[in-house]
Structure 1
């Protein structure tokens, strides 16, 4: 082949996050746990039910109401006999996804292998979460320790990414089971490779020296059941998806290397080229030569494949380029900047060859190779010192120790503009608070774009290198849909909402700050002047929005929410988008809200004359 290595001079690499496979083979599919009945579990107690839906009350502790049907697993504790739920299946390395809904003040947990607990708790509004808070890795326990030290090695979440009780939350866990040798001796601790709560990474690569408190056994095992705590409080769970990684990994064997000095722009004829150095290696590494630049390393050996199937490889070749052949077939061709490839392999021993050409002096020599296959989570086959991140960028983060304002572009993942691209708010103002509840406002429409809980902003895209002007929220985000005009004139409550500002006389007037540096946004629309003040609620439970309209025209309405569903609750409350957030109408001047259908969506609108106040609780 005559492919040019010189095309790969940008330091090929990729962002590698533990536990996240980037190219899964088709034969390796997750499995949804059926929730038509309780047959997937061992001897379930009477506290466990299969229902179709549940609801909680923000004013009542430890109360869940259920609706008959299937699809939702609910723990509805009775006065006695409440027990944990244990699965029939056993797991080792696993990815676990599930949705959960917890009652106000309630407490539960998910135990991997029945031994390592991820806490489920009503942690709504907690500013500094502990190991016992929602998403925490619960502490270990030793009665022989002094008082105050019996609990140890608990791991709090990085930030509180919890939703309010009565709302569906999403938990994602990538778990690596402990390893044992042939005699049964533990040789490697269990790890939580990644835990995400509501889309926020709250733990990464946490090593667990042993079972957490309340485990079903203090012994550690290669495989064990999933266990859900049932004796502490009501909780509901749905959409349980299991992805097992229970197949043996391929192994590189009989590795030999040869180092060639020079700048190679194509694969040379090795039969005519004497090496500078050669030898055997136990793993792939760039450390077999001290030449800093302009060299080529050729590895040859055997790949022992224990499970036939489709395998995906990712190759990082810092400061140059690489290529790879397996079973005498090119899997990764030099010149492919993405440096990825797939191949179907039989079980058994197959030939392996890898070339790494280094030519850029700014990069440290490094080879990174990762693989995933049938029943195999992506893992690194090269030495631990190899860089799999290319040239990683130090993040540029913005905290909000006091009320903080940052103007930027703001992209809305999951929403598209007319050209099919990710929707971008170009005049976005993000407002952070020390209460750790933040929001973004669209000054082009007078619209609330999103609210979130946790850390404030990642401004790396805006300020790194040339930047693209955008920032990103760092916590648990609740988006309010594509922003449209916040206040519009409608001929009737069923008239279509105004989708742009044409003909409305909309004109932004910026914002003014109060004594605590909190902005009140101002704009003109339909000849009226609107003051729009958004403030964080007590106990960090959400935000309250107050619209004050001067010289209002007739038939003005405010759109408070849109979603797949909007259902009325008691006391002026609504629950939106399949239990994603609450809207509470605090003051509407006697006006009657309307929930209306718009296509396959719903909107909550209310007439507005002088003043309107409502809260978003999430």
Structure 2
């Protein structure tokens, strides 16, 4: 789905910052680490034992594993931060609890919530409550924020987190004039918090006072947690400003820049004290050229990016007498290396399409400056999303678009109240995606004429380009088939049980197949059972393929850098095998009469 204005500004590719990757080869990035913290080369968690990690010697991963002997303590960075983007991977042990305190004061909760659907401020991705002992019982905690969705994953799996934080603002006398904000939090690719105002420190803060900067703090006294790939981007430099703006409006259609000497303006004047770029001027022409001139005050030297949006027309930007963005249609982006000081600034907006609504948007990013809007806000078309409630429609047929520009034209998406859902491809008899969170956004299918497609709302796991689950292989190194050609594949629809869960039916190689997929209790994963009648000779099932598949226990496998688990539940006596073909690994099992396995996610 398209990002919101806040998301587009915060995580735009043009954002420039003072970025650093925290070295995790040792603990030198942190203040006085307790003995519960260590660095490791690898880490894993048990699905059955609480608060337990296994580690291997080395570096690159920060691990906290408190014990009765080595009680954990919070870990603080050596640096302090104000405005910040933080991106990292983290892993929870079973039943564990931790948190990330921005400036040591505002906690984003980390927790193992696998198998739960409840969302509170104490859930994984929640903003923890503030606390006041003087309030009545049951009301001591307040101003906490639950995550929008339950996008977390199972213990022992890596989860990806992105946080964009805006520090509180203070005047020259040290009085707070603006609260801190979580501009955006994404967990496993899903927005779970957006533009959340933080009225004060949350419970457990290092201090209840607020300051412009503070250390990043990782909670270490509640349970086992691991971190890797910690990237910190600081935004501490002052923004450039426009001053002395004047404008001129020329009536007519201009597809290139005119000569101004012989062209009288329809309207002109100073922009006023706001110096805010806008297309809302004293002008009712449907086609016109708007020319702004003025001064850009640059307070930090370096490379700056200018992101211009000029709907229904084209735009041009000159900075420091350099044309950094030529006249382009609608959207354009340019960069310039600028000195500190005052430099000439010029912007053109040529509205050439008489049917469009005039609008002008300019965003600027630079060294230590998060991308910000220096113009009017361009409002996108407001379309009320058409969201499918799993309680009303647990099964939906639609097109589903997968990465790599592949469209599944006969897709069946199956939802569950446990908030775990999947999509099945009838054309190949296979699962193409699995996700946790909301069910489906059917806006692309049902808004106006629509295109027939729907989109998963939650945290997605794709399973590659669709092909059949079953195939006949001449040898262990025979490549898996790319399509159903030569298989005599025929889909036969599906049957629903008393819980409205489908069993898919098809024929392949003359074999009749029942493919029953059921959500595991509490949404911890799905269990798939293939029942075959008169199995063809050499019939093999491919359960999963990926860059890496490793067996970590009897019949239990980890796929692709701890993205999800596969558990072989019943192979009817056949032996699973991990094979490597063309640089990719596949978990395959010979099929006799029945095969059952689970995907834990």
State the TM-score bracket (shorter-chain normalisation): over 0.9
- The within-5 A match list for 1:498-513 is 498-513=481-496
Cα separation, 2, equivalents of 1:324 and 1:338:
12
* CA deviation after TM superposition for structure 1 residue 228, in Å: 0.3
2:83 maps to which residue?
93
2:386 maps to which residue?
396
SS at 1:334's partner residue?
strand
1:315 maps to which residue?
308
* CA deviation after TM superposition for structure 1 residue 477, in Å: 1.0
Task: Check 1:589–1:274 CA distance in 2 against 1; reply closer, same or farther (3 A cut).
Answer: closer
SS at 2:328's partner residue?
coil
* CA deviation after TM superposition for structure 1 residue 588, in Å: 1.9
Which of 79-88 and 44-53 deviates more? Answer: 79-88
Q: Structure 1 length as normaliser, TM-score?
A: 0.90
* CA deviation after TM superposition for structure 1 residue 178, in Å: 1.5
- The within-5 A match list for 1:407-556 is 407-413=397-403, 416=404, 422-464=405-447, 467-556=450-539
- The within-5 A match list for 1:260-275 is 260-261=250-251, 264=254, 266-271=256-261, 272-275=263-266
Greater relative contact order structure (CA < 8 Å, 6+ sep)? 1
Cα separation, 1, equivalents of 2:581 and 2:103:
46
Aligned mate of 2:54, from 62, 65, 79: 65
- Alpha-carbon contact 2:557-2:566 (below 8 Å) kept: yes
- Alpha-carbon contact 2:286-2:355 (below 8 Å) kept: no
Cα separation, 2, equivalents of 1:463 and 1:29:
44
- Alpha-carbon contact 1:21-1:372 (below 8 Å) kept: no
SS at 1:336's partner residue?
strand
1:342 aligns with 2:332: no
1:21 aligns with 2:4: no
Which of 195-204 and 573-582 deviates more? Answer: 573-582
Cα separation, 1, equivalents of 2:196 and 2:547:
37
1:179 aligns with 2:169: yes
SS at 1:338's partner residue?
strand
* CA deviation after TM superposition for structure 1 residue 227, in Å: 0.6
Task: Check 1:317–1:14 CA distance in 2 against 1; reply closer, same or farther (3 A cut).
Answer: farther
1:611 aligns with 2:594: yes
What per-residue deviation string (whole Å, max 9, x for no partner) do you get for residues 189-238 of structure 1? Answer: 21111111011111111121111111111122222111100000001111
1:32 aligns with 2:15: no
2:187 maps to which residue?
197
Cα separation, 2, equivalents of 1:528 and 1:401:
35
- Alpha-carbon contact 1:106-1:233 (below 8 Å) kept: yes
1:131 aligns with 2:124: no
Task: Check 1:589–1:191 CA distance in 2 against 1; reply closer, same or farther (3 A cut).
Answer: same
Which of 450-459 and 98-107 deviates more? Answer: 450-459
Which of 331-340 and 255-264 deviates more? Answer: 255-264
1:169 aligns with 2:162: no
Q: How many corresponding residue pairs?
A: 594
Task: Check 1:494–1:267 CA distance in 2 against 1; reply closer, same or farther (3 A cut).
Answer: closer
Cα separation, 1, equivalents of 2:369 and 2:188:
26
Q: Structure 2 length as normaliser, TM-score?
A: 0.93
- Alpha-carbon contact 1:18-1:194 (below 8 Å) kept: no
What per-residue deviation string (whole Å, max 9, x for no partner) do you get for residues 31-74 of structure 1? Answer: 22111100110000000011111111111111112111111110
The unaligned stretches of length 5 or more in structure 2 are none
Cα separation, 2, equivalents of 1:483 and 1:573:
23
Cα separation, 2, equivalents of 1:14 and 1:150:
35
Aligned mate of 1:218, from 208, 217, 223: 208
- Alpha-carbon contact 1:16-1:388 (below 8 Å) kept: no
Cα separation, 1, equivalents of 2:583 and 2:351:
56
- The within-5 A match list for 1:256-295 is 256-261=246-251, 264=254, 266-271=256-261, 272-281=263-272, 282=274, 283-289=276-282, 291=284, 293-295=286-288
Cα separation, 2, equivalents of 1:596 and 1:265:
60
Aligned mate of 2:297, from 304, 323, 337: 304
Aligned-residue RMSD, C-alpha: 2.3
SS at 1:17's partner residue?
helix
Cα separation, 2, equivalents of 1:133 and 1:16:
22
Task: Check 1:16–1:434 CA distance in 2 against 1; reply closer, same or farther (3 A cut).
Answer: closer
- Alpha-carbon contact 1:76-1:235 (below 8 Å) kept: yes
The unaligned stretches of length 5 or more in structure 1 are 1-12, 417-421
1:576 aligns with 2:559: yes
SS at 2:522's partner residue?
helix
Task: Check 1:187–1:548 CA distance in 2 against 1; reply closer, same or farther (3 A cut).
Answer: same
1:154 aligns with 2:137: no
